[in-house]
């Protein structure tokens, strides 16, 4: 990459201002709280993994059940930092599994506008487009409701493939 020093200089200046650090830390803490709350309220439906941090682009955790595990699939609850929205992704445990299920789902409503497989997932469902971070209790409820709705819908679709 040319002129990396220029980008690093800009990065340092933004970090010194402090706003990005505060926002990022609060967003990660919120996703951690989501995971903890979902372990308490949804453990009869899914098992949950630890929080994963992208490269300032995504914060996420995986969740799965016996059916998904049997197909070598999993869901991800994703905070997309660039778009600032929450998404549910269907992912494969390996690239060949992802490719297999992409082929099976590339004509579904989730992939109707895509001409190639997403970079990290098989399919993606936006569940909260404009999150209101000033009302976290309501946001948690909204995310849980929409996450379960999207997950159930994707599971129903996957079960038709058998």
Q: Residues 51-64: pLDDT tens digits?
A: 998 888 999 999 99
pTM over 0.75: yes
Q: What is the dihedral of CA 36, 40, 44, 46, to 10 degrees?
A: -10
Q: pLDDT-based confidence at 6, cuts 50/70/90?
A: very high
Inter-residue contact 41 to 33 (CB < 8 Å): no
Q: Burial level of 40, CB count in 10 A (0-12/13-18/19+)? A: exposed
Mean pLDDT for the chain? 95
Residues in the chain: 162
**Sorting pLDDT into bands at 50, 70 and 90, what band is 2?**
confident
């Amino acid at each position: 990459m040319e002129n990396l020093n220029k980008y690093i200089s800009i990065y340092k200046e933004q970090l010194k201002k402090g706003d990005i650090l505060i926002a990022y830390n609060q967003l990660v803490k919120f996703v951690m709280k989501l995971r903890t709350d979902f372990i308490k309220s949804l453990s009869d439906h899914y098992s949950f993994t630890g929080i994963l941090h992208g490269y300032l682009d995504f914060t996420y955790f995986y969740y799965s059940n016996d059916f998904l595990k049997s197909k070598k699939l999993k869901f991800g609850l994703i905070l997309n930092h660039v778009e600032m929205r929450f998404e549910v992704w269907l992912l494969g445990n390996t690239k060949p599994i992802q490719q297999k299920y992409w082929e099976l789902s590339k004509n579904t409503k989730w992939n109707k506008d895509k001409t190639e497989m997403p970079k990290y997932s098989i399919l993606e469902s936006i569940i909260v487009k404009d999150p209101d971070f000033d009302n976290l209790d309501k946001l948690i409820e909204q995310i849980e409701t929409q996450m379960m709705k999207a997950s159930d819908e994707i599971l129903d679709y996957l079960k038709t493939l058998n």
